[in-house]
Structure 1
Amino acid sequence: MEFSNKSKLLIVDDSAFMRKLISDFFEGNSKVEVIGIARNGKDAIKKIQQLKPDVVTMDVEMPEMNGLDALKEIMEVSPVPVIMLSSTTVSGAENTLSAIENGAVDFVAKPSGTISLDLHKIKEELVHKVEQAAHVPVAKLKKPIGNKKTVLDVASTNNKSESTPLNKTILQQRTNKGTANIIKQKSTWSNTSKKIVLIGTSTGGPRALQEVITKLPETINAPILIVQHMPAGFTKSLAERLNNLSKITVKEAEHGDRLQNGVAYIAPGGWHLKLQKIGTNFEIQLDQQEPPRYGHRPAVDVMFENVSKFNDFDKIAVIMTGMGYDGSKGLIDLKQNGNVTAIAESADTCIVYGMPKAAVETQLVDEVVAVDEIAQMIMKYLP
C-alpha cells in the first residue's frame, strides 16, 4: 500500500521513446505514480477500464486511433482527467482545442514535433499540470458547453437588477485605506462613460471563453481584451474558433490594432498585452521585453496593471477558471485607479478554482457567478 496516497497516471503515446521520457519525469514524484502505458487510443480505452487511473497523458497524433477520437470515447465510457500532448502545428492546435472542448483538462505543447528529444524543456509544466488534473472532478469535464446560439437580449439584460454585489457587507466591514473609494466607485458607476472589458483565464479557459464570448451581442458597447494562458501558435486557432461561433468579432491581437467596440482581442502566446493612447484612440501594444509573470506571457496581471493607468474608461474585470493566482495583484491596481467592477467565476463551474479564488480573497470582487451567467453579468454593467 506504499503508493495508495499517490495519483495514478496512465501514459498514452505511440512512441516508446516518449513513453519512457514521460515516465522518467515522474520517477520519485511524491504525488503521482505511473501505473501503466498505452500505445494508441484503442489501447488507452482498454487500459483505462482495467487500471482505473486518476489522470492520463495522451498524445494527440497516434496510429489506429488518435488522441482526439480516443478522448471522445473515454469521456463517454470511463471519464477521467486527460492532459493532451500536442504539436504546435496549425492542425495540432486545432485538434488540441477540439480535445479541450471534448473534455480534456489541459494540454502541453511539445517543444519540437511528434518525437521531442528536448521534452525536458516542458517537464516542470507537464508534471505540475498532471498533479493538478488528477484532482479535477470528472463531472465538470463532462459538462456540455451551453447552447452556442444563445445571444443575450441586451434590453432585458440591462433591466435586470436582482443580483447583489457579493462583497457589499465585506467592503463595509473593511476599515483599511481605500475601502471608501471602492464603495464610492460602485455608487458612481455610470452608463454614460466609456467601458472596456478585461478577461483573464487559464486552465479550462477555452471552454469557459466559448461559454461567455458566444453569448455577447454584436452591439456590445465596449472592446474586450482577453488573456488566456497558452503558448504561441494556439491563441490564433482559439481566436478563429471563437470568431466562427460568436456574434462579435474575435481576433488574435496584433501590435497597433486600434480598439473597437464589439471586438475581442486575444493576447498572442508569448506576448504581454498592453494599451497605448494615440491621440484620442487606444492601440494594442504587444510586449516581449517584460519577462513572464509566474511563468506566463501573456499574464493577466500585466494587462490589468497596464490598463489601470488609463482613466478614459470604466473597467469590467473578469477572472475565470485557472491554476495559480494571476490577475489578483492586477485587480488591486485596477481597483485603486478608477471605476472597476470585478466579476469572478464561481467554484461550482471552474475546472480549476485557483485564479478566481485568489481574486475573491482580495475582497475586491463584486460579483461571483457561474460561467454561463458571466456574459449576462458583463452586459448588466454596460450602457
Structure 2
Amino acid sequence: MRPYKVLVVDDSAFMRKIISDLIENDADFQVTATAANGREAIEKVNELRPDLVTMDVEMPEMNGLEALKSIMAQRPLPVIMLSGINEEGMKETILALEWGAFDFIRKPSISNSQDIIAVGESLREQMKEAMLARERREARASAVKSPEPPPPAAEPPAPRAVVEPVRRKLEPSKKEADKAPLQGTEKPRVRAPLEPPADKRKPETGTEPAAAKRVAKPAPAVPKPAPDRLKGRFQEAQGAGRVVQRAASEVAAGSFVEPPAATGGQASGSRSVRKLVAVGCSTGGPRALKAFLENIPGDFPAPIVIVQHMPPNFTKSLAQRLNTFSALEVAEAEHGMILRQGAAYIAPGGYHLTVVPVPGGQYMIELTKEEVRNGHRPSVDTLFESVLQLTSLERHAVIMTGMGSDGARMMKALYDSGVTSTFAESEETCVVYGMPRSAVELKCVRHILPLQEIAPRLVQAVK
C-alpha cells in the first residue's frame, strides 16, 4: 500500500521540520509538501491533492481558520489543526472543529524533547484514525451507490428435437397428476406475534417508518440570564450559604474533597434535581455537542453533565462557544457547583468529573486528579460510574462520536442495573465511530440514532 500523502502547513520553517519528522516516523505517511501560510496551503491542496493536512491555526497573510473554510468548501479532506495555548488560539481551534477540522493537537514545546515525542504519538494516532474514518465513509458510500448485479443472461432455447422428449419425460400423465396431493393449498396456521420483553427489544436505529419516528417538539427556548450572572447562578447553594470551594492546589494534588455541609432549605430559584443526563464524546465532539445542545430547550428538566476529551484550557473556550448557541446555560464545570435544571456542565480538561449527592436532595460536581482512565482525564467511564451510584435519580446516558471505547463499559453497567434510556450516535454521522460502536457491541444501547435525532428523542424520553 502506498503511503498517505500529507501537506504540512506552518509559518515557522523550524516547526514545519519538526512536524514533518514526527509524521514520517510512521512509514504509512509521507510529507509530500509544506506551506508557510493558508494561501499557499489552498494552492497546494488543489495542485497535489494530499490525503491529509496538518494546519497551524495562527499564520500571517491567511490564517489556518480561513484556509480550512476554503478547503472544506472546495475539496473536503481530513485537516488536523495545530494550536498554541494562548486564549485566541484556543478560541480559533474550537471554531475550526466546528467548521470541519478532524481534530487538533497543541503545538509541542521545542525546548522539551519529551513533549515533542508525546505530541508526535498523538498526531500519528489522529492521522491513522482520520484515514480509517475516511476509508469507512468511502466504503459505505460505494456500497450505497453500487447497483444490484444484473440478472444472468438467458441461455438460447434448445432445439425442438431435444426439448420435446425431455418435456414428455418431466410432465406427469393426467392420471398421475390426479393422484398427486395438492401442494401449497393448505393454509398455514399463523400465530400472533408476541411483544418481546423490554430488555430484549431491538435498539432503535433511526431507520423506522416516518410514523414511528414522531418525537416531541422541543419547547421554546427560555431567555438566558446575562453572561455576567451565569457563574453566580451556577454556584447557588442551599439556604443562605454558598458552596465553599477548596483551593485549586488541593484538588490538583489529588486530595479527597468532602462535599460541603447543607444548611437546610433551598436556594432562591433552585429546584431539587430528580433527573440527570450524562454525555460522553471525543473526536468530532465539539461539532456534535453544538448540534446536540442547540436542540435542547431552556426549560429542560434535567442537568446535563458532559465529558469531552480535550486538553486543559480548551474546554473553557468550548463551553463559552456552546453557550452562545444553546438555550441552556453552558459552562465549564467547577468543583462544588450544585447541579441545576436547564444547565449543562463540561468537564475541564485534565480533571475527572463525578456527580455526588449532598444533603437536601441536591447533587454536586466533584473534580479530581486521579490517574488517567482509558488513556483520558476526564474519562467518560469515570463520569458514568459516579452516575451508576445515583439510584434515586432518573438517569439517561449518551455516547457520541469519538476514538476508542471510553464510556462503553460503564454504560453497560448502567444498562444492566436497569437504566435503559441509553443513546449512541449511529455510524452514518460519526466523525469516528469508535466509542459508540464499542457500546453498541456490548448490547447496552437502546437508541442508535443519527446525530440530528438524538436531542429530540432525549427530550421526549426525559419529559
Which protein has greater RCO, CA pairs closer than 8 Å, 6+ apart? Answer: 1
Separation of aligned partners in 1, 2:9 and 2:455: 37
Distance 1:165 1:296, change over 3 A: farther
Q: Which amino acid aligns with 2:292?
A: V
Separation of aligned partners in 2, 1:231 and 1:25: 20
2:80 to 79, 83, 87: 83
Q: Partner of 2:169 in structure 1?
A: none
Q: Partner of 1:25 in structure 2?
A: 22
Q: Partner of 1:373 in structure 2?
A: 453
Q: Cα offset for 1:165?
A: 11
Tell whether 2:316 aligns with 1:319: no
Tell me the percent identity: 47
Counting only pairs closer than 5 Å after superposition, residues 1-383 of structure 1 correspond to structure 2 as 4-112=1-109, 118-137=115-134, 168-169=200-201, 194-279=274-359, 280-288=361-369, 290-383=370-463
Distance 1:216 1:230, change over 3 A: same
Separation of aligned partners in 2, 1:139 and 1:70: 26
Q: Partner of 2:166 in structure 1?
A: none
Q: Which amino acid aligns with 1:59?
A: D
Separation of aligned partners in 1, 2:440 and 2:460: 20
Q: Cα offset for 1:169?
A: 4.0
Q: Partner of 1:160 in structure 2?
A: none
Separation of aligned partners in 1, 2:344 and 2:329: 6
Q: Cα offset for 1:77?
A: 1.9
The secondary structure found in structure 2 opposite 1:19 is helix
Distance 1:109 1:247, change over 3 A: same
Q: Which runs of 5+ in 1 are unaligned?
A: 141-163, 172-192
Distance 1:214 1:308, change over 3 A: same
Q: Which runs of 5+ in 2 are unaligned?
A: 138-195, 204-272
The secondary structure found in structure 2 opposite 1:200 is strand
Separation of aligned partners in 1, 2:330 and 2:414: 24
Once the two structures are superposed, residues 183-211 of structure 1 have per-residue CA deviations (whole angstroms, 9 ceiling, x without a partner) of: xxxxxxxxxx9221011000000000000
Query: Could you tell me whether the CA contact under 8 Å between 1:166 and 1:366 is conserved in 2?
Result: no
The secondary structure found in structure 1 opposite 2:296 is coil
The root-mean-square deviation of aligned C-alpha atoms, in Å, is: 2.3
Q: Bigger shift: 52-61 or 5-14?
A: 5-14
Q: Bigger shift: 199-208 or 19-28?
A: 19-28
Query: Could you tell me whether the CA contact under 8 Å between 1:79 and 1:138 is conserved in 2?
Result: no
Q: Cα offset for 1:9?
A: 1.0
Query: Could you tell me whether the CA contact under 8 Å between 1:314 and 1:340 is conserved in 2?
Result: no
Once the two structures are superposed, residues 40-71 of structure 1 have per-residue CA deviations (whole angstroms, 9 ceiling, x without a partner) of: 11111111112111111010011111100111
The secondary structure found in structure 2 opposite 1:276 is strand
Query: Could you tell me whether the CA contact under 8 Å between 1:165 and 1:366 is conserved in 2?
Result: no
Q: Cα offset for 1:338?
A: 4.3
Q: Which amino acid aligns with 1:58?
A: M
Q: Which amino acid aligns with 2:335?
A: H
Distance 1:167 1:309, change over 3 A: closer
Q: Cα offset for 1:314?
A: 1.9
Q: Partner of 1:143 in structure 2?
A: none
Q: Partner of 1:174 in structure 2?
A: none
Once the two structures are superposed, residues 125-163 of structure 1 have per-residue CA deviations (whole angstroms, 9 ceiling, x without a partner) of: 1111112113444998xxxxxxxxxxxxxxxxxxxxxxx
Query: Could you tell me whether the CA contact under 8 Å between 1:223 and 1:261 is conserved in 2?
Result: yes
Query: Could you tell me whether the CA contact under 8 Å between 2:412 and 2:439 is conserved in 1?
Result: no
Q: Cα offset for 1:381?
A: 1.0
Q: Which amino acid aligns with 1:46?
A: E
Separation of aligned partners in 1, 2:66 and 2:438: 36
Q: Cα offset for 1:219?
A: 1.0
Query: Could you tell me whether the CA contact under 8 Å between 2:412 and 2:443 is conserved in 1?
Result: no
Query: Could you tell me whether the CA contact under 8 Å between 1:202 and 1:229 is conserved in 2?
Result: yes
**Under a length normalisation based on structure 1, what TM-score does the superposition of the two structures give?**
0.82
**Under a length normalisation based on structure 2, what TM-score does the superposition of the two structures give?**
0.69
Distance 1:335 1:10, change over 3 A: same
Q: Cα offset for 1:89?
A: 1.5
Q: Cα offset for 1:243?
A: 0.9
The secondary structure found in structure 2 opposite 1:381 is helix
